[in-house]
Amino acid sequence: MLWYAGKRFLQMIPVFFGATFLIYFMVFAVPGDPIAALYGDHPPAPGVIEAVRAEYNLDKPFIVQYLLYIGGLFQGDLGTTFSGRPVIDVMAQAFPITARLALLALAIEAFFGIIVGLVAGLRKGKLFDASALVISLLLISVPTFVVGFVLQYVFGIQLGWARTTVSGAAPWGELILPAIVLASVSFAYIVRLTRASVADNLGADFVRTATAKGLSRRRVVTVHVLRNSLVPVVTYLGVDIGSLMVGAIVTEGIFNINGVGGTVYRAIRLGEGPTVVSFVAVMVIIFVLANLLVDLLYAALDPRIRYAK
Partner 1 sequence: MTNPETVSVSSDSSNEETPLLKIRNLEVGFETQRGLVPAVRGVDLTLYQGQTLAIVGESGSGKSTTAQAVIGLLPGAGKVSGGSIEFEGHDLTQFSDAQFAEVRGSQIGYVPQDPMSNLNPVWSIGFQVEEAIKANGIAQGKEARQRTIEVLQEAGLSDASERLKQFPHQFSGGMRQRVLIGIGLSARPKLLIADEPTSALDVTVQRQILDHLQTLTRDYGTSVLFITHDLGLAAERAEQLVVMYKGKVVESGPSRAILENPQHPYTQRLVAAAPSLASRRIQSIKSAKSTDDSVRIFGEGSLDEALIARAATREASADEDLIKVSNITKVYEIRKQGFRKDKLLAVNDISFGVKKGTTTALVGESGSGKSTVAKLILQLESLTSGNIEFDGKNLAGIKGQELLEFRRRVQPVFQDPYGSLDPQYSVGNTIAEPLLAHKLGTAKERYNRVSELLDQVSLPQAARHRYPGELSGGQRQRVAIARALALKPEVLVLDEAVSALDVLVQGQVLNLLTELQTELELTYLFITHDLAVVRLVADNVCVMQGGRIVEAASTDEVFENSSNPYTQELLEAIPGANITLGA
Stretch that binds partner 1, among 93-101, 111-119, 180-188, 217-225 (CB under 8 A): 217-225
Verify binding: residue 42, partner 1, rule CB under 8 A: no
For partner 1, the closer CB: 60 or 124: 124
CB-based contact 256:166 (threshold 8 Å): yes
What does the alpha-carbon distance between residue 202 and residue 200 come to, in Å, rounded to a whole number? 5
Verify binding: residue 215, partner 1, rule CB under 8 A: yes
Q: Which residues contact 91 (CB under 8 A, 6 or more apart)?
A: 78, 278, 279, 282
Q: Which of 176, 166, 187 is nearest to 259 (CA)?
A: 166
Verify binding: residue 1, partner 1, rule CB under 8 A: no
- For residue 303, the minimal CB distance to partner 1 (Å) is 4
Q: Which residues contact 283 (CB under 8 A, 6 or more apart)?
A: 242, 245, 246, 260
What does the alpha-carbon distance between residue 272 and residue 95 come to, in Å, rounded to a whole number? 18
Q: x/- binding map, residues 181-210, to partner 1, per CB under 8 A?
A: ----------------------xxxxxxxx
3-state DSSP call for residue 30?
Answer: coil
- For residue 62, the minimal CB distance to partner 1 (Å) is 38
3-state DSSP call for residue 302?
Answer: coil
- For residue 272, the minimal CB distance to partner 1 (Å) is 44
* The amino acid at 127: L
Verify binding: residue 304, partner 1, rule CB under 8 A: yes
Verify binding: residue 2, partner 1, rule CB under 8 A: no
Verify binding: residue 85, partner 1, rule CB under 8 A: no
Q: x/- binding map, residues 250-289, to partner 1, per CB under 8 A?
A: ----------------------------------------
For partner 1, the closer CB: 103 or 207: 207
- For residue 173, the minimal CB distance to partner 1 (Å) is 38
Burial label for 125, CB within 10 Å (0-12, 13-18, 19+), is exposed
Verify binding: residue 222, partner 1, rule CB under 8 A: no
- For residue 15, the minimal CB distance to partner 1 (Å) is 21
What does the alpha-carbon distance between residue 49 and residue 191 come to, in Å, rounded to a whole number? 54
- For residue 131, the minimal CB distance to partner 1 (Å) is 20
Query: What is the DSSP track for 91-106?
Result: HHHHHHHHHHHHHHHH
What does the alpha-carbon distance between residue 191 and residue 290 come to, in Å, rounded to a whole number? 21
- For residue 12, the minimal CB distance to partner 1 (Å) is 19
Verify binding: residue 227, partner 1, rule CB under 8 A: yes
3-state DSSP call for residue 86?
Answer: strand
Verify binding: residue 10, partner 1, rule CB under 8 A: no
User: Can you give the binding site for partner 1, defined by CB under 8 A?
Assistant: 3, 203-217, 219, 223-224, 227-228, 301-304, 308-309
